[in-house]
Amino acid sequence: MSYYIGQMSGTSLDGIDTVLMHFDKDQMRLIAQHHLDFDPSLKASILALCNGSSDELHRSFVLSNKLSKLYANSIQVLLEQQKIPANDITAIGCHGQTVRHKPPEYTVQLINGALLAENCSIDVVCDFRSRDMAAGGQGAPLVPAFHQALFQQTDMMTDTFVVNIGGMANISRLTVQGDTQGHDTGPGNVLMDAWCQLHLNKSFDENGDWAASGQLNSGLLEQLLSEDFFKLPPPKSTGRELFDLNWLQRQLSNLDAAIPAVDVMTTVTQLTVESIAREIENLNNRGQVIVCGGGALNQYLMTSLTKRLQHFQVLESSELGHDPQNIEAMAFAWLAKQCIERKCANVPQVTGAKGGRILGAIYPG
Ligand SMILES: Nc1ncnc2c1ncn2[C@@H]1O[C@H](COP(=O)(O)OP(=O)(O)O)[C@@H](O)[C@H]1O
Ligand SMILES: [Mg+2]
């Protein structure tokens, strides 16, 4: 019986999700969660580090410290609310903030594990991706093993797909035989968020209302789908290095005529839907699809995905009792537990690593 904390701050740059989890043998339970929004200036500093720029070594260390203090504050708030002493927590699993993901060379998640351990007096597990990459893998996605632990059922009649729609999107396939597959499918919310910020000055399209009011431009959709990443076979993973506002604006500049901003919004939303649907259909023509990540809260996106995958049963994870915004943070609590117990946590057929590896670096509290 043990408590673990999981923390995720993803490529959407919306903020930090923190969860407190209780594990007892094979049972796991969410006890409490906390979300801290990034303020616009912090978000801008992170975004500025996602591309090469001057003095980035200094700025990345300063930002790691700043983020690690926020990670610690979120944990302290959660533990005070729950009246649980730090001593009772076995470890914190903190993903850190990705600013570069360039497999097979390197991946960078900003975090100062020593500072987080110092401020919380709890063992910290971080740097989850680099060991998988050292073994020849993409270092991503890491959530499929957790999706299996959470969603695999013994009485499954067909495949279950878990779709995580964060800044980027990834799928996990859980088969009846108990195998796990998975890979990134491309952009999740990242292009929608950037377009919404540019034209409406809002960080995201609440419920997908703006996208729902436009018209799909099928020529633009086909052009966006012609990007090489969508044709690559798995294993594959991606990030803001490829899919960002610059990518979208380059694609738009190749068009003969300008398209109304609202129609671009509808079309980039459909790009997320179509790229996810095609990857699922490459693996099976029916099954259950469980959607999690912040994209599950975009009603227009969910309706479009349900319509597109009409031979599948499409559910939002909350229909199975799991708030879609908590699942990735829950995964990092579970990944920390795997590390502390010296269990392999990557899925080699997902990441392309040579074999199973224990993931993470431990900073003793
Ligand atoms: N009510 C909502 N309507 C539409 N989109 C939403 C809503 N709530 C969250 N989102 C989307 O979810 C994103 C955050 O998702 P998240 O799973 O935290 O991604 P990441 O792991 O990349 O941080 C937001 O940037 C936004 O695009
Ligand atoms: Mg997030």
Average pLDDT by consecutive 10-residue portion of the chain (365 residues)?
97 98 94 98 97 94 98 98 98 98 97 98 98 98 98 94 98 97 98 98 98 97 98 97 97 94 98 98 97 98 98 98 98 98 98 98 98
pTM of the full structure: 0.97
Domain range summary for the chain, segments of one domain joined by +: 2-139+343-363, 143-320
Choosing from 204, 238, 322 the residue with most ligand 1 atoms within 8 A of its CB, the one to mutate for a pocket test is 204
**What CATH number does domain 2-139+343-363 carry, 3.30.420.40, 1.10.3720.10, 3.40.50.10890, 2.70.150.10?**
3.30.420.40
Whether 2-139+343-363 and 143-320 share one fold: the answer is yes
- Rounded to 10 degrees, the C-alpha dihedral 259/263/269/274 comes to -70
Closest-CA residue, ligand 1 atom 14, reads 294
CA distance 305 to 150: 22
Nearest-ligand number for the alpha carbon of 332: 1
CA distance 26 to 28: 7
User: Measuring CA to CA, which residue among 193, 360, 161, 120 is closest to residue 276?
Assistant: 161
Over residues 42-72, the pLDDT tens digits come to 999 999 999 988 999 999 999 999 999 999 9
How do 160-165 and 168-174 pair as beta strands?
A: antiparallel
Pocket of ligand 1 (CB under 6 A): 8, 10-12, 14, 166-167, 189, 193, 204-208, 293-295, 297-298, 325, 328
Distance from residue 302's CA to the centre of ligand 1 (Å): 13
**What CATH number does domain 143-320 carry, 3.30.420.40, 3.40.50.1100, 1.10.1040.10, 3.40.50.360?**
3.30.420.40
CA distance 39 to 337: 31
CA distance 140 to 184: 8
DSSP 24: E
Over residues 156-170, the pLDDT tens digits come to 999 999 999 999 999
Ligand 1 atom index nearest CA of 13: 23
Q: Amino acid identity of 157?
A: M
